[in-house]
Structure 1
Amino acid sequence: MKKLLIISTVICTLFAVTSCQKDELDLKNPNALTTDQFWVTPDDAEKGVNAIYAMFYKDGLWARWVYFRLDLTSDEGFSQSPWVELADWTRFGYINYNFWEGNSVTWRDTYKAIFRANQVLANVPDIEFSDENRKQQLLGEAKFLRALHYYYAGVLWENVPLVLEPSKPDDLHPQNTKEEVFAQVEQDLTEAFAALPEAWDAAQTGRPTKGAAKAMLAKLYMQQHRWEDAKSTLEYLIKGEGAMYSLVDHYEDNFTHLNENNSESVYEIQFGDQRRGGTGEGQDASVSTTRAQFFAPRGIGWSDGQARFWLVNAFKQEQTSDGKIDERLRYSLFYPDLFKDFGDKIYGRDWEWGDQEAWFRKYQRDYYRENEDYYSEVNFRLIRYADVLLRYAEVLNELGMTSDAYQYVDMVRARANMAPLATAYPGIGNNREAFLNRLKTERVLELSGESVRWEDLKRWGDLEDQASVDEIAERDPDFENFEVGKHLRLPIPQVEVENNPNLEQNPGY
């Protein structure tokens, strides 16, 4: 099932070889390939692209720490970790800008992924292929992956160096603005869309498609408030040639390993538990995610990440069409009344935690285990069709087409057996602001704990004025530490600023 995982990390050590470029160190190792020796055959190109995918399994990215930045820093989550510095980095206590787990490792792994993509894009064009279409697909994959990593760099740090060629240790790259970074993301995704197929055969599951490129473009355009561009891009997925997605019948199928890469998945990071090594560059390196271990309740996992209890209350504000609790709550959160409401225990246990505590249930493995470990095989659904539908509703509303937007929210609500939005909230009407306010809640109910909330808050401008930050702080006290104009972006690791005179620390730091 996890077709890419078997080969994704085999040649990762190749890229360490290229880091020593000085003449006095230019010794030939008969047991290691040089860059000139490697980039020769189509098979080399395949391995080079697989090495980019391998970065998903590194600590700084989707194996672990990125969830702390996107879920726990938002108002949906927080940390009570006894590791105080780790917890501080979810509540804007950025004292040591070089803190490895909070900042530096994600920066490092982001640029390692970009470096690998750049190697493919620099070297593969010169390799002769008998199948030119496959060559273009590989280049499209590399552009998609480079764009993905630069997109999240733009969301997290904003003003980062834009490196588009294989870098050398002594390079001092100039700093770019978020706008320049996003312009490159747009170019890469546009070119990737042209090269990628609409679908892959089963053996290639996990590679990006045209639909994935369009969905990433839509995210980009929405962050830039380019509503018309976002509208036409999303319509490819909803009404156009890429309209091949649909909501699965069972909401929970989006968060377990039992029905992965289903009709709702637009782009999914493939995880597996077949290798039990660490997260380095060895051939036994893990291809798992450790999110479940770090987000599980105390006594089950490390419990370094928790959910804010206001999420539980949000689910209970409205009943289903037959007078029951929204079942999405059941599969989204662990909370004190989970057994009372739905008959579910927590990893086989009765509730033994605080009466105002909650944890994210999505991507946890309580449905077949009684504990967690570092080797979760549950794929991460980076983009799913429900998100696409809610984004399209948001875009239509921003363009003054509020009456047309209702049907796309209703498609998501209907799966949860919720009444049509106009029936449940007739007072909204065609009021753009009222519709957006309700849509903010709809996104929480459908997408909480799925690493979209931080970019949502930034897109809505909720982090840009004190009044809206104060409102967020009422449901998440960590935002009492939030400084407007400063904390909407991370500090650049200080060691990078000190080692590169072309970099300036982000404003306010």
Structure 2
Amino acid sequence: MKKIIIITIGLISILFASSCDDELAQTNPNALTTEQFWKTESDAQAGVNAIYAMFYKDGLWARWIYFRLDLTSDEGYSVSPWTELADWTRFNYVNYNFWEGQVVTWRDTYKAIFRCNQVLANVPNIAFQNEDDKKKILAQAKFLRALHYYYAAVLWEDIPIVLTPSTPSDLPAQKNVTEVWAQVEKDLNEAFADLPPSWGADQTGRPDKGAAKAFLAKVYMQQRKWAEAKTALEYLITGPGARYSLVSNYRDNFTDVSENNSESVFEIQFGDNRLGGTDESQSAAVSSNRAQFFAPRSIGWSDGQARLWLVNAFKQEPNKAGTLDIRLRWTLYYPELLADFGDKTYGKNWEWGNEAWFRKGSRDYYRNNEDYYSQVNYRLIRYADILLRYAEVLNETGNTADAYQYVDMVRARVNLNTLAVAHPEIGNDHDKFLERLKMERALELAGESVRWEDLKRWGDLNSQASVDKIALRDPDFNNFVVGKHHRLPIPQVEDENNPNLNQHPEY
């Protein structure tokens, strides 16, 4: 049974009270002040739980961040009638203050970081009966701060680093992305030291040592620190943290039926037990809106969909039985789904035309529409991703021959031949192996919010020639300007209000 980590309204009042100007702050007799709070172990626990609540906000994993990570990549796109929303998935950035396109994600990212900083500043002063319990709370805050800075660096790159609780008068300085990566590394390494190897069943959803190492591998790989990434990944594959395994049923990674399974390294806990908004009230939802916005027409809002090249990619290689890769069935909706797999999902609605839609996380296994309250957990990192990453770092460190076995583990689950049998032309050639690995990651991880960071890491956004290749499968990249669109513009309102923050020069 999954544990939904929730918060109390009392703590939220404290978090926001500390960020008000003295002249504007009004005394609320029912709300504790910062000075009255942060006294007990339960205060500390409530404080760290409030950080998890940020996963349920509009700018982050409840809704809009998927538009930046999935639809901006070559896997997805938007033809939403909301033109400005669609434009922000095809590099037509006109209004840098577009709320849904980026400003709300910036706001909620720094809101989450603020909550982390509150814990890290105040919890050390609280007396605990067991000092290890205090260390675990501080380690969670460091992990979550690193997580939010990681995605901010992927999206904007050069951003302010804020490590103490903010005040309205603060004007934090902008830092180069290399400094952001360094802070993420520091937080994760310190978090790893004090996180447990695993949590009890009643604490499911909190990061453990394996999650910290997995995110360390991600940040090292984005910097092409291959040796460091290799060491981090080995903790999960052959080291003390080698307790993960691929589940036999691929789709078990994308429903609420088999969550927090052996393949899960870190996943966001969603639930449909509260049907409120995304505000700070006690009835605020702890759900995901992704399925509602990415569902096919008449099932949801249909603002985001998948590129058809993914369907064709799945069909390039039959499995050992001579049939289609089963991952296609559970990754995408597409016109031939019924013919290919006998899948009658949504019946006659296949009159949508020659279009594809993301299926992972949909609830078609028990209902015929979506809403704002999906309870399906979102797997930020699963073991299949770890195995493919390890293959990548082995290839990058001159061990191409050793890398095959880790790709083969992922392929074996869906009854595909080994990579050497299916693609003997690769041999021990680094470049050919990498090109094939790019496809292996797309087939295994499509629609799981990793493709944008993959494209950046591989350098595929750094030259016109490579961008032109991407544009052949995703026409939106015809709008992509090399040296500009690899990162988002800084929200204009932030640039105007903070003299220590400068808009990226290419904008």
TM-score range, shorter chain: over 0.9
Q: Distance in 2 between matches of 1:65 and 1:348?
A: 29
The Cα offsets for residues 79-136 of structure 1, whole Å up to 9 and x where unpaired, read as 0000000000000011000000001000000000000000000000000000111100
Q: Distance in 2 between matches of 1:183 and 1:101?
A: 29
The answer for the alignment partner of 1:368 in structure 2 is 366
The Cα offsets for residues 233-282 of structure 1, whole Å up to 9 and x where unpaired, read as 10000000000000000000000000000000000000000000000000
Question: How far 1:387 sits from its partner (Å)?
Answer: 0.1
Q: Distance in 1 between matches of 2:188 and 2:9?
A: 24
Contact in 1 for aligned 2:289/2:374 (Cα 8 Å): yes
Q: Distance in 1 between matches of 2:226 and 2:276?
A: 45
The Cα offsets for residues 436-457 of structure 1, whole Å up to 9 and x where unpaired, read as 0000000000000000000000
The answer for the alignment partner of 1:465 in structure 2 is 463
The answer for the alignment partner of 2:350 in structure 1 is 351
The answer for the alignment partner of 1:248 in structure 2 is 247
The Cα offsets for residues 345-391 of structure 1, whole Å up to 9 and x where unpaired, read as 23344411112x00000001111110000000000000000000000
Question: How far 1:26 sits from its partner (Å)?
Answer: 5.8
Question: How far 1:35 sits from its partner (Å)?
Answer: 0.4
Question: How far 1:13 sits from its partner (Å)?
Answer: 3.0
The Cα offsets for residues 267-307 of structure 1, whole Å up to 9 and x where unpaired, read as 00000000000000001000000000000001110000000
The answer for the alignment partner of 2:207 in structure 1 is 208
The answer for the alignment partner of 1:482 in structure 2 is 480
Asked whether 1:433 is paired with 2:442, we answer no
Q: SS of the counterpart of 2:379? A: strand
The Cα offsets for residues 423-467 of structure 1, whole Å up to 9 and x where unpaired, read as 001110000000000000000000000000000000000000000
Q: SS of the counterpart of 2:152? A: helix
Q: Distance in 1 between matches of 2:15 and 2:135?
A: 22
The answer for the alignment partner of 2:305 in structure 1 is 306
Q: CA RMSD in A?
A: 1.0
* Aligned residue type for 2:502: E
The answer for the alignment partner of 1:266 in structure 2 is 265
* Unmatched segments (≥5 aa) in structure 2: none
User: Structure 2 vs 1, CA of residues 129 and 326 (structure 1 numbering), >3 Å: closer, same or farther?
Assistant: same
* Aligned residue type for 1:83: W
* Aligned residue type for 1:249: S
Q: SS of the counterpart of 2:159? A: coil
The Cα offsets for residues 7-39 of structure 1, whole Å up to 9 and x where unpaired, read as 4766323211112242x4565432111101011
Contact in 1 for aligned 2:197/2:241 (Cα 8 Å): yes
Contact in 1 for aligned 2:462/2:482 (Cα 8 Å): yes
The answer for the alignment partner of 2:86 in structure 1 is 87
User: Structure 2 vs 1, CA of residues 65 and 25 (structure 1 numbering), >3 Å: closer, same or farther?
Assistant: closer
* Aligned residue type for 1:5: I
Q: Distance in 2 between matches of 1:227 and 1:31?
A: 53
Contact in 1 for aligned 2:6/2:52 (Cα 8 Å): no
User: Structure 2 vs 1, CA of residues 85 and 485 (structure 1 numbering), >3 Å: closer, same or farther?
Assistant: same
Q: Distance in 2 between matches of 1:30 and 1:93?
A: 48
Bigger mean CA offset, 25-34 vs 282-291: 25-34
Listed as ranges, the matches of 1:169-318 within 5 Å are 169-318=168-317
Q: SS of the counterpart of 2:74? A: coil
* Aligned residue type for 2:453: E
Contact in 2 for aligned 1:8/1:53 (Cα 8 Å): no
User: Structure 2 vs 1, CA of residues 77 and 240 (structure 1 numbering), >3 Å: closer, same or farther?
Assistant: same
Identical-pair percentage: 71
Question: How far 1:507 sits from its partner (Å)?
Answer: 2.8
Contact in 1 for aligned 2:10/2:32 (Cα 8 Å): no
The Cα offsets for residues 329-352 of structure 1, whole Å up to 9 and x where unpaired, read as 000000001011111123344411
The answer for the alignment partner of 2:39 in structure 1 is 40
The answer for the alignment partner of 2:158 in structure 1 is 159
Asked whether 1:3 is paired with 2:3, we answer yes
The answer for the alignment partner of 2:331 in structure 1 is 332
* Aligned residue type for 2:439: T
Question: How far 1:62 sits from its partner (Å)?
Answer: 0.3
* Aligned residue type for 2:339: K
Listed as ranges, the matches of 1:67-146 within 5 Å are 67-146=66-145
User: Structure 2 vs 1, CA of residues 385 and 29 (structure 1 numbering), >3 Å: closer, same or farther?
Assistant: same
Q: Distance in 2 between matches of 1:105 and 1:171?
A: 20
| Equivalenced residues, count | 507
User: Structure 2 vs 1, CA of residues 392 and 8 (structure 1 numbering), >3 Å: closer, same or farther?
Assistant: farther
Question: How far 1:55 sits from its partner (Å)?
Answer: 0.2
Q: SS of the counterpart of 1:35? A: coil
TM-score, normalisation: structure 1: 0.98
Q: SS of the counterpart of 2:273? A: coil
User: Structure 2 vs 1, CA of residues 425 and 9 (structure 1 numbering), >3 Å: closer, same or farther?
Assistant: farther
* Aligned residue type for 1:396: L
User: Structure 2 vs 1, CA of residues 287 and 474 (structure 1 numbering), >3 Å: closer, same or farther?
Assistant: same
TM-score, normalisation: structure 2: 0.99
Contact in 1 for aligned 2:285/2:373 (Cα 8 Å): yes
Q: Distance in 1 between matches of 2:349 and 2:68?
A: 30
* Unmatched segments (≥5 aa) in structure 1: none
* Aligned residue type for 1:4: I
